[in-house]
A and B are shown apart, each in its own frame.
Chain A
Amino acid sequence: MKMHFNRRQLVIPYGLFLVLFVIIPLGFIVYYAFTNGSTGAFSLNNFIKFFASPTSLSTLLLSIGVALLTTIVCLLIAYPVAYILARSNFKKKSVLLMLFVLPMWINFVLRINALREFLDLVGILNKAHLFNTILGMVYDFLPFMILPLYTTLIKLDKSMLEASADLGSHPVATFCKVTLPLSMPGIVSGITMVFMPTMTNYVISDTLGLGHVTIIGKFIEECFGARSDWHLGSAIALVLLMIIFVSMLVSGGFKEEDNGSRGAGLW
């Protein structure tokens, strides 16, 4: 007997995964966010509680600030690296790239604790909590910025650059008007991969900020932990989700990159 799978059947495993671990849990979060802790009735109280508290709001703003700065620094470091790497004729490019991605293969906790010891050695561990936190975030998330940038830049059609030069464009102008716009998809996907995790990665802020820096992820954890208020925690998680959604809309992350119908229209 011959086994035949059509496209829709092949998608079942992932479809199941999606429903089980993404959609239904998200449903739980929405349910908790909009219900009252004691009665279980519909309520907007959790959101009101969050937005009415100056501390919560400043924690949120601080997290956004830390995430933004981390993203910007990552971008500033990663773009030149990815650019040089993609453009160079160096034969062992993949080895170089591997060196940048290598830290990702080493246990995260180990790396952050090593950085903690290093900062202690330098003598700034207990002096610059916010700086250390951002440093740790950049250290941890840099590969997530380099990789998408590199893959976009390496695919960039060189004839475009030649055409630009032929038409008398200065290399700087070529970069601004050709390379940069064409690498936009890489930049956007790099940003989305760095920005969001940075806002919630409280292991880094706890380890390197020594507990002096509280970001929103830590706050959510407290809600599910000692505070035992799942409803508030879910509401904050939902607020974060909305922030990401809005920032994606603003940065155009939802635009179809290639309009082919492949992969689209699952159901």
Chain B
Amino acid sequence: MMKKILTFAIALALAFYITLPNLVVAKQDNLLRIYSWEDYISTDEETGETLADEFEDWYKAKTGKTIRVEYSTFGTNEIMYNELKISPGSYDLICPSEYMIQKMINEDMLEEYSAEFLDETNTENHYVRNVSGYIKNLFESHQTKNGKSWANYAAGYMWGTMGFIYNPDKIDQNDIVHWKAVWDEKYKNQSTLKDSVRDTYFMGLAYVYSNELTTLATQFKNGEINSQQYNEQVNVILNRTDDETIAKVEEALKQAKKNVFGFEVDSGKNDMITGKINVNFAWSGDAVYAIDEAEEQGVYLNYSVPVEGSNIFFDGWVMPKGANKTLAEEFVNYISMPENACANMDYIGYTSVIAGDEVFDRMVDYFELTTAEDFASLSSAEQSQLTAVDLSYFFNDLSDGRSSTVYTDVVGRQFYAQYPDLDTINRCAIMNYFDNETNEKISILWENVKGTELPVWVLVMLGTLVAIYVGQIVAKKIYKRNRAKYIAQTRK
């Protein structure tokens, strides 16, 4: 009986573990399984319906076929990656960050987008027709080892920069345009680092090589190098991972740790609003959110991307091997329709990769900007109060030859975080993924940076405890021996 039950339990358990992944892995023609970041798609506040749900209706109206969308979310790229490694084929469409896309392309985990999807002549192909030339160029210029480019494997979704959210009342604007603000004793306990290896390592790099980066910036300003050369150089510097660099960055980050308020990934936005900190190293999308939230409470925050150069990141849609490509591609086109891109931007705060007139007009409305056409009709006094922002790199295909330069009287706030100007873009680099060996080295760096110095009291306490324990054993032994002696003596 006992054995039977045991065998039964084990058999059942094994069956459970074997069928579990299979239950998840089930590609169906009328099912689209999307795996994306939390809070990363426009959601109706009242009904809780996301654009993914609306896609079902849209698809039905378009083709007459009924499909179902399963939308699940992950918290970090690594969680997503591990899950996909354990049960491949469990999703049709995933939205990882650039470095993870790179890694997945390298490990041959992704399906390619079809030629039909990339065909710009088809008016139904909203993604390729609407994506900004800047993003398109970025994707196409990154080759993969099989002679293709990122554009073959990934379709962009959201992108942004990294920089500082700061409180202009407390922080000198001239300091905050440099990475060294975090190391500055003047701002002790006022700034934060990201509790995430890649981002903080990046910041360390920018700090360690700030002289080199400043020299480059000057050369570019003086016209000694063109923007392409400048950007290439910045990319090289901000992707260094040699041993000497790692050692320097480790030292720099250890110093920074002594100066900062703390490490965070999520609490920074709130701590800015409540005034616990005045500088928050942040992603631009979070900056938009924090600035908005703070404004409601009467606190005015700004966003700055340091002049030495920064990180540009994006998240993109990729299809893992074995995905339902037809539906996945349909969905990417659906989510890339300008009105959906706008809805997502309004909801998330990050910047959509989609450009075009509609997105441009939404931006002008939303941030109350002045277009070049309107600007011309203003008086010179009015004109002098506005700052020109050159967005030609992003909105490069506006109709009727409209100018993509806009004018604003609000500098360095939500608008700047969502649409950085050309100068900022020139000094921003994409950070490549670390290969396994480098990842291990940087993990050790991180371990050393995050590790807490052992306080003396811990050693004293542990020592005392061990001493007490040993002492007790010894005392017992002596007591027993003496007792035995005593008994032996009294017997005599």
Contact = CB atoms under 8 A, between A and B. Distances in A.
Given A58-B454, A210-B262, A250-B469, A8 B461 contact: no
Interface string B67-95: 00000000010110110000000000000
A61 B454 contact: yes
Contacts of B453: 58
27 contacts: A12-B5, A15-B5, A16-B13, A20-B16, A24-B13, A53-B444, A55-B451, A58-B453, A66-B458, A125-B276, A126-B276, A207-B267, A210-B263, A211-B264, A212-B257, A222-B447, A224-B78, A225-B78, A226-B76, A226-B196, A226-B198, A226-B446, A227-B443, A228-B439, A229-B443, A250-B469, A267-B5
Interface in A182-232: 206-207, 209-214, 218-219, 222, 224-230
A195 B458 CA distance: 15
Contacts, number: 119
B189 interface: yes
Interface in B1-60: 1-2, 5-6, 8-10, 12-13, 16-17
Nearest to A130: B455
B459 A61 contact: yes
B453 to A, nearest CB: 7
Q: Is the interface of B mostly helix, strand, loop or mixed?
A: helix
A160 to B, nearest CB: 25
Given A65-B461, A225-B79, A228-B82, A219 B17 contact: no
B452 interface: yes
Given A68-B465, A211-B263, A226-B197, A62 B257 contact: no
B170 interface: no
A73 to B, nearest CB: 12
B207 to A, nearest CB: 18
Interface in B263-309: 263-264, 267, 274, 276
Given A214-B452, A228-B82, A19 B462 contact: no
Contact of B9 (A15, A68, A125, A227): A15
A162 interface: no
Contact of A62 (B264, B439, B458): B458
A227 B434 CA distance: 11
A9 B16 CA distance: 20
B454 A24 contact: no
B350 interface: no
A9 B81 CA distance: 41
Given A225-B78, A226-B443, A210 B450 contact: no
A66 B457 CA distance: 10
Interface residues of A, number: 45
A176 to B, nearest CB: 16
A233 to B, nearest CB: 11
Contacts of A19: 9-10, 13
Given A16-B12, A68-B462, A68-B465, 20 more contacts: A9-B5, A12-B5, A59-B447, A59-B451, A59-B452, A61-B458, A69-B461, A120-B276, A126-B276, A130-B455, A206-B195, A206-B263, A209-B262, A210-B261, A211-B193, A212-B452, A214-B452, A226-B198, A229-B443, A267-B2
B229 interface: no
A68 B267 CA distance: 29
B448 interface: yes
B443 A222 contact: yes
A57 to B, nearest CB: 9
Interface in A103-154: 117, 120, 125-126, 130
Interface in A147-176: none
Given A53-B447, A226-B197, A228-B439, A65 B262 contact: no
Shortest Cβ-Cβ A-B pairs, 6 listed:
A210-B262, A211-B263, A65-B458, A55-B451, A227-B443, A58-B454
B329 to A, nearest CB: 30
B144 to A, nearest CB: 21
Nearest to B451: A55
A226 B97 CA distance: 13
Interface in A221-251: 222, 224-230, 250
A126 B261 contact: yes
Contacts of A225: 76, 78-79
A64 interface: yes
Contacts of A209: 262
Interface string A65-79: 110110000000000
Interface in B220-263: 257, 261-263
Nearest to B3: A267
Nearest to B448: A55
